[in-house]
A and B are shown apart, each in its own frame.
Chain A
Amino acid sequence: MATVSMTVNGKAVTADIDSRTLLVQFIRENQLLTGTHVGCDTSQCGACVVHIDGKAVKSCTTLALQCQGANVVTIEGIAAADGTLHPMQEAFREHHGLQCGFCTPGMIMSAIDIVNRKGNDLDEHTIREELEGNICRCTGYHNIVRAVDAGAKAMAGSAKPMKHAAE
């Protein structure tokens, strides 16, 4: 057993855990935040993506103990305190970027990270390449691409439509 302390969605938490506990287990089982999902066992699907100190990380491949002192944000932590959705959440709903919803938390967390790294004016090619680490079996990605584009624009407050890969 070991003790770990970190900030999860703005709240300071401390727990005694088995040292092999993965961050995703810590989030789901210890913090009871079940919006972060597990879709694979080889770090491929991205259903488990959270932000650690502002960067997207696959929480299935991170030990909870590695996050000592870190600032962890999950899908439950991105809307405003009054419940106003993050622009990327809103974009996924508006553009039908989800069906079963299982990949969605990871997709949204990755999408926000893409915008943080690549800016608000993304083309289709960039969005598709950057989503390489997130698998969705339902949507065929068509509407996810549109949602990420719209969310990126909304995050900047602009509204120019994305350039298509074919253009």
Chain B
Amino acid sequence: MSATGIGASVRRKEDHRFITGSGRYTDDINRPGQAHAYFLRSPHAHATIKKIDASKALAMPGVLAVLTGDDLAADKIGGLICGWMIHNKDGSPMRAGGHPALAQGKVRYVGDHVAVIIADTLAQARDASEAVVVDYGVLPAVVDTATAMKSKTVVHDVAPNNSVYNWHLGNKDDTEKAFKAAKHVVKMNIVNNRLAPNPMEPRAAIGLYDKAEDHYTLYTTSQNPHVARLVLSAFIGIAPENKLRVVAPDVGGGFGSKIFIYAEETVCVWASKKVGRPVKWNSDRTEAFLSDAHGRDHVTEAQMAIDENGKITGLRVHTIANLGAYLSTFSSSVPTYLYAPLLSGQYNIPAIYAEVDAVYTTTAPVDAYRGAGRPEATFVVERLVEVAARQLGIDPAKFRQMNYITKFPHQTPVIMMYDAGNYNASMKKALEAADYKGFGKRRKEAEKRGKLRGIGFSSYIEACGIAPSAAVGSLGAGVGLWESAEVRVNPIGTVEILTGSHSHGQGHETTFAQLVCERLGVPLESVSIIHGDTDKVQMGMGTYGSRSGAVGMSAISKALDKVIAKGKKVAAYVLEASEKDIDFKDGKFSVKGTDKTLDFGACALQAYIAHKFNGQDLEPGLKEGAFYDPTNFTFPAGVHIAEVEVDPDTGVTRVVNWTAVDDFGVVINPMIVEGQVHGGIAQGIGQAMLEGVVYDKEGQLVTASYMDYCMPRADDLPSFTVGMTVTACPSNPLGIKGCGEAGAIAAPPALINAITDAVGHEDVAMPATPKVVWRAAQKALKKMAAE
């Protein structure tokens, strides 16, 4: 392994600009003459808009325009779209209500976009918003996930009973049979709490229209600028793609919430032509809570069937998923194809049946958030498995091992074909790292201090590297999920990689360059990674679902293969040898059996000056592109073990140990991968103990600031012990599985399993706040006293 190649913990190339304050995020960009947009948002969860009177606001200083849904309609600007078609059980399509960027006649959640005020300064726009008079006809709210289908109030007329779809997957008959024959059945009602993704950089956008070129530019906080351009062009109708450039510069975290095409960026780019000036918008945190797509929000009934030998024989799940007031860009896929296909977990379960009801409510749209569907599936499976082990009196680690899939490839009853893994290896390593054997002693010692100590497991699996285009197409996706890359070798041998992946914290500028170093033998400083600009990079699909390593880097690898093949042709001319006798290794072309060599840089120069070959026989230049379409999903998996101490008098839980052993396949940069695991665990612990979006009965968002929504802080968390096992992924050329979401998927069940173990009661809902934990501990004490 070289010091900068695959497997080296290279320090990040991008860090210098961030630690010196020179990063360039969207809000750091200012354009001459820019005006500022402020969105007037609905104060009601559900209301008709009878009238909007902006005359007073328009007369205020600095105000350029007040635009509403009527103006959008007059300009024939289309609504926001949902890009994944889900079909009901009966084969009919899902019921998608209209989603205008500015409300047309009705608002459907607190924070919904009523109008935009554009003024010289933000302060003027905000002041003027208070002078816009809106006459609302207030309607009842629909807030509760579990009962939304029974509500008399309908959010969209096209969706009676607020049902977006009723979908299913798996084999119902086999599953019924498994339950009839079962020796033991575990039943649970599980709520997966609603979360706000909260990247630290709030969303922002600047739209600008160039009259001379009749061309738009949009700077935006996006994880996938090309998809944003596609949607803004083809569906919303801002401008054709060749007349619209989308740039996503440095982006301060995404976690899924910056995948989607939102109202604000649409309005900024459209309005820039209307007011004839660049239009800038920057979300404040309260707006982010109100209008960034939320995550999770499932209510589930689940049962697991187990035979007399302790083998799991069946799983039955019914989930109600809250999709909020409108279908966000990929929302429909999250509780369906990103959820139910993961219900087999790491286990050999012969029969699975899942039914999902997706519902509209008068709350913010819900879409993918770190893990997207997979944390929800893992939580169901890992809570059931843990409770099953407890009820059967089998050690939870052993019960898992008894049921692990051990032969690969493995076809589950829910679509997925697991290609490779070694679940026992991760479990063994985790048990050792966590000193599972010593837990009994630690528990006794804690008891002496009056503390309840518990331990909890999570054997998670996820499907990453999304995804084979034809496969997702057959499941309803509106796009292909390949990735593109271009390798430009310059005449002096420096290299530019143009990638459709987008880095917003993942460190692509470093890891992608490491791959190039490894393959071309050029120094790290000679490699630049270019991304996030539709004018520079050809069509790409962006970064989400832990796909940039497995899919994005595979595309780069494929293009590098082509560069090397072309280089060999050039070298053959220069070294006066036959092409098949040319080898390429450690940055040098050489002729087999001779000492004749040509450096990669010298070869690049020869390719461009084209003196040694006939330009008709071989094209000059050294630049290649590739599109890589995955052959399968990838299946990262691992074991997390949480250890907690609960104070039974206060319900306060302290996470004292955390052990993670993950199998991500081949790892390019262990330092960066471990960092991804740390961040994921923190978000998972956040979900399990601290975070939760709360709407009151009227649909008012109660948790709209960091005073009310509890973000994990440094003193809420322990240090983490992170280890790895490696089974290379056979489905892509680099053997990579992906690591971005693992922590967020694995952590919540591990932590809840640990807390329930500590208090001796299963009734601990997320977030397990001191109140929740204290109540469970008291119930357990009462039960013990009664027995």
Contact = CB atoms under 8 A, between A and B. Distances in A.
A104 B251 contact: no
Contact of A40 (B28, B705, B718): B705
B21 A34 contact: yes
A140 B720 contact: yes
A18 interface: yes
Interface stretch (B232-240, B392-400, B706-714, B723-731): B706-714
B200 A100 contact: yes
A59 interface: no
B12 interface: yes
Interface stretch (A61-69, A115-123, A128-136, A153-161): A128-136
B425 to A, nearest CB: 24
A20 B250 CA distance: 29
B713 A139 contact: no
Contact of B719 (A76, A92, A138, A164): A164
A99 B713 contact: no
A65 B413 CA distance: 66
Contact of B683 (A42, A85, A135, A137): A137
Contact of A145 (B25, B675, B719): B719
Nearest to A35: B21
B737 interface: no
A2 interface: no
Identify which of B20, B28, B198, B656 gathers the most chain A CB atoms within 10 Å of its CB: B20
Nearest to B282: A38
A102 interface: yes
A131 B717 CA distance: 12
A143 interface: yes
A103 B743 CA distance: 20
B285 interface: yes
B285 A101 contact: no
B interface residue count range (under 10 / 10 to 19 / 20 to 34 / 35 or more) = 35 or more
Nearest to A147: B19
Contacts of A99: 253, 505-507, 675-676, 679
A112 B715 CA distance: 18
A132 B21 contact: no
Interface in B658-699: 671-672, 674-676, 678-683
A100 B21 contact: no
Identify which of A74, A92, A99, A135 gathers the most chain B CB atoms within 10 Å of its CB: A99
Interface residues of A, number: 56
A85 B199 contact: no
Interface string A81-110: 000010001001110101111111100100
A108 B16 CA distance: 13
B660 to A, nearest CB: 11
A20 B675 CA distance: 40
Contacts of A166: 656-657, 718-719
Nearest to B671: A96
Contact of B253 (A35, A129, A137, A165): A137
Interface string B44-83: 0000000000000000000000000000000000000000
Nearest to A40: B285
Contacts of A136: 200, 714
Contact of B200 (A39, A74, A93, A108): A39
B23 A101 contact: yes
Classify the secondary structure of A's interface with B: loop
A79 B19 CA distance: 10
Contacts of A105: 18-19, 21
A145 B656 CA distance: 16
Contact of B201 (A39, A75, A140): A39
Contact of A104 (B18, B202, B285): B18
Contacts of A98: 15, 18-19
B22 interface: yes
Interface in B529-584: none
B678 A132 contact: no
A130 to B, nearest CB: 8
A92 to B, nearest CB: 5
Contacts of A47: 200
Nearest to A164: B719
A35 B22 contact: yes
Contacts of A36: 21
A81 to B, nearest CB: 13
B15 A93 contact: yes
Interface string A18-59: 101000000010000111111111101101000000000000
Contacts of A74: 21
Contact of B285 (A39, A94, A103, A127): A39
B432 interface: no
Interface string B27-40: 11000000000000
A141 B717 contact: yes
A46 to B, nearest CB: 10
A101 B123 contact: no
B255 interface: yes
A93 B14 CA distance: 10
B19 A92 contact: yes
Identify which of B16, B23, B198, B286 gathers the most chain A CB atoms within 10 Å of its CB: B23
Given A102-B201, A138-B253, 14 more contacts: A39-B201, A42-B285, A92-B19, A93-B11, A99-B679, A100-B250, A101-B19, A102-B200, A129-B715, A135-B713, A137-B679, A137-B683, A138-B679, A164-B719
Interface of B: 11-12, 14-25, 27-28, 123, 198-202, 250-253, 255, 284-286, 504-507, 656-657, 671-672, 674-676, 678-683, 705-707, 711-715, 717-720, 743
Top-10 shortest CB links A-B: A35-B21, A101-B18, A102-B252, A140-B682, A100-B505, A140-B678, A75-B21, A99-B505, A44-B706, A34-B28
